[in-house]
């Protein structure tokens, strides 16, 4: 049965679609007219990666993996990149994951600008990546280690923890029954009333302070006090400025080098003087440090005390002069007679004057 032209065209179109799908499925990324440079890299493991997976230079896709083989107990990955792709001698290849669902690609780093370019067909240095299996294995080992250490810690501290719980229970029981200071604070109603009264008193005091009552309240709210304090600090500032400028006595003491030098000389002289006193040099030093001189002075003071005591009691000539009233009367009478005699001398001659004196006295 002869096919019509329409059927022939339909069959040809269907065959073309099937061929196109086959090409897309098995020859993905096939570019027969694009020049490519081959390279290869060696790995200990190549879990998850397969032929046809992309090759990326710092995240940018530049080629495909051609084949995966075993060579010298290592996994060899042959791949091609676009001609002119910059791969250097210190560039490193690493099998990386596209996502957590299992996609992989071969990642290549730029390398350093000073490193020479790697010729096509050469071996690219590789770096082993940590796989999911290794991460899970490490996590399991770390988990077992941590849990083991935690179990040992709990086992060792079980007795201490149990004793702590018992002590805590005892403390809570004492507090609940009103024992101890904390128990009284919680359960004693009188203490509550006293505390409440104290807080009430504090509130009243704070209210008076806020209202400006009392001495402290006036200190807080009186603007005149603030002004006085401000003036006082201003005066202090003026005084300090004058002192810094060398004005006044204290300012001169602080700023005058000559006066400061004289003051230092005075202190040095005083230090030398005190040193001499301590070393018993000079009269004053001996007076301060000579024990024999101290004993002599004490004995002399005791003698003076005895003499003044005798004088006060009327003993001896000087005591009688100071205490005998009759001696005072005789001396007064004698002085009057002498005064009369002196008055008579001016009216008589020498012989008469002598007679008057003798007659007056005797």
Query: What letter does residue 352 receive in the DSSP assignment?
Result: H
pLDDT of residue 330: 72
pLDDT of residue 34: 72
Alpha helices, DSSP H, located in 211-281: 214-221, 223-244, 248-255, 257-278
Model confidence band, residue 124 (pLDDT cutoffs 50, 70, 90): very high
pLDDT at 10 over 60: yes
pLDDT at 261 over 60: yes
pLDDT at 264 over 90: no
Strongest mean pLDDT among 117-131, 158-172, 185-199: 117-131
Determine, yes or no, domain membership for 311: no
More confident call, 48 vs 117: 117
Model confidence band, residue 65 (pLDDT cutoffs 50, 70, 90): very high
- Spell out a b/e string for 127-141, using b for 16 or more CB atoms within 10 Å of the CB, else e: eebebeeeeeeeeee
pLDDT of residue 79: 95
Determine, yes or no, domain membership for 40: yes
Contacts of 88 (CB under 8 A, 6+ apart): 110, 111, 112, 115, 116, 117, 118
**CA 340 remoteness from chain centre:** 101
From 83, 105, 131, the end of a domain falls on: 131
Read off the pTM: 0.34
131-139: average pLDDT: 66
Round to whole Å and give the CA distance between 191 and 143.
Answer: 54
Same domain, 10 and 86: no
pLDDT tens-digit readout, 270-328: 887 777 767 666 666 666 666 777 777 778 888 888 888 777 777 777 677 667 667 66
pLDDT at 349 over 60: no
185-201: average pLDDT: 79
Same domain, 96 and 65: yes
Domain count, the chain: 4
50-55: average pLDDT: 92
Model confidence band, residue 80 (pLDDT cutoffs 50, 70, 90): very high
Model confidence band, residue 112 (pLDDT cutoffs 50, 70, 90): very high
From 131, 158, 191, the end of a domain falls on: 131
Which tokens belong to 290?
């000579």
Tell me the CB-side half-sphere exposure of residue 75, using CA atoms within 13 A: 19
Same domain, 6 and 42: no
Which tokens belong to 178?
């009103």
More confident call, 68 vs 190: 68
Same domain, 59 and 115: yes
Same domain, 25 and 37: no
Same domain, 17 and 36: no
Residue 95 burial (C-beta neighbours within 10 Å; 0-12, 13-18, 19+): buried
From 82, 98, 131, the end of a domain falls on: 131
Secondary element (H or E) of residue 50: none
- Structural domain boundaries, residue 332: 325-356
Round to whole Å and give the CA distance between 98 and 55.
Answer: 11
Same domain, 84 and 46: yes
126-149: average pLDDT: 72
**Is the CA virtual torsion 201, 204, 206, 208 positive or negative?**
negative
Q: What are phi and psi of 91, to 5 degrees?
A: -70, 150
pLDDT of residue 12: 83
Same domain, 37 and 14: no
Number of Cβ within a 10 Å radius of residue 77: 25
pLDDT of residue 39: 96
Model confidence band, residue 203 (pLDDT cutoffs 50, 70, 90): confident
Alpha helices, DSSP H, located in the chain: 5-26, 132-156, 158-176, 180-187, 189-210, 214-221, 223-244, 248-255, 257-278, 282-289, 291-312, 316-323, 325-345, 350-361
pLDDT tens-digit readout, 167-188: 888 888 887 777 777 777 777 7
Same domain, 1 and 48: no
Same domain, 10 and 46: no
Determine, yes or no, domain membership for 192: no
261-271: average pLDDT: 80
Determine, yes or no, domain membership for 223: no
Determine, yes or no, domain membership for 25: yes
Determine, yes or no, domain membership for 316: no
Tell me the CB-side half-sphere exposure of residue 337, using CA atoms within 13 A: 13
In the sheet that holds 104-108, the strands lie side by side as 36-43, 74-82, 60-71, 54-57, 104-108, 92-97, 125-126
Determine, yes or no, domain membership for 248: no
pLDDT at 27 over 70: no
More confident call, 77 vs 145: 77
Secondary element (H or E) of residue 188: none
331-357: average pLDDT: 62
221-230: average pLDDT: 73
Same domain, 79 and 101: yes
pLDDT at 150 over 90: no
Strand partners, 71: 74
pLDDT more than 70, % of the chain: 75
């Amino acid at each position: 049965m002869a096919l019509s032209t329409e059927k022939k065209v339909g069959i040809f179109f269907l065959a073309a679609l099937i061929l196109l799908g086959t090409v897309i499925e098995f020859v993905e990324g096939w570019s027969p007219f694009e020049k490519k440079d081959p390279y290869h890299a060696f790995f200990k493991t190549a879990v998850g990666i397969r032929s046809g997976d992309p090759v990326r230079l710092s995240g940018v896709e530049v080629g495909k993996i051609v084949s995966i083989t075993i060579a010298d107990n290592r996994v060899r990955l042959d791949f091609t990149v676009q001609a002119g792709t910059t791969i250097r001698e210190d560039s490193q290849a690493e099998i990386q994951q596209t996502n957590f669902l299992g996609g992989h690609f071969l990642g290549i780093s730029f390398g350093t600008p000073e490193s020479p370019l790697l010729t096509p067909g050469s071996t690219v240095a590789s770096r082993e990546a940590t796989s999911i299996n290794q991460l899970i294995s490490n996590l399991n080992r770390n988990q077992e280690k941590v849990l083991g250490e935690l179990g040992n810690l709990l086992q060792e501290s079980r007795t201490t923890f149990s004793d702590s719980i018992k002590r805590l229970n005892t403390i809570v029981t004492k507090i609940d029954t009103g024992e101890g200071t904390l128990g009284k604070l919680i359960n004693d109603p009188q203490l509550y009333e006293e505390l409440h009264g104290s807080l009430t008193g504090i509130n009243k005091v704070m209210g008076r302070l806020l209202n400006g009552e009392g001495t402290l309240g006036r200190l807080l709210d009186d603007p005149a006090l603030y002004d006085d304090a401000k003036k006082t600090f201003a005066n202090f500032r003026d005084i300090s400025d004058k002192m810094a400028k060398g004005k006044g006595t204290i300012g001169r003491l602080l700023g005058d080098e000559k006066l400061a030098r004289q003051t230092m000389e005075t202190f040095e002289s005083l230090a030398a003087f005190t040193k001499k006193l301590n070393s018993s040099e000079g009269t004053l030093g001996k007076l301060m440090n000579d024990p024999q001189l101290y004993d002599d002075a004490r004995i002399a003071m005791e003698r003076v005390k005895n003499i003044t005591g005798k004088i006060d009691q009327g003993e001896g000539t000087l005591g009688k002069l100071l205490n005998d009233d009759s001696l005072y009367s005789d001396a007064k009478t004698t002085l009057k007679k002498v005064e009369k005699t002196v008055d008579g001398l001016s009216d008589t001659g020498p012989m008469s004057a002598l007679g008057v004196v003798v007659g007056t006295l005797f």
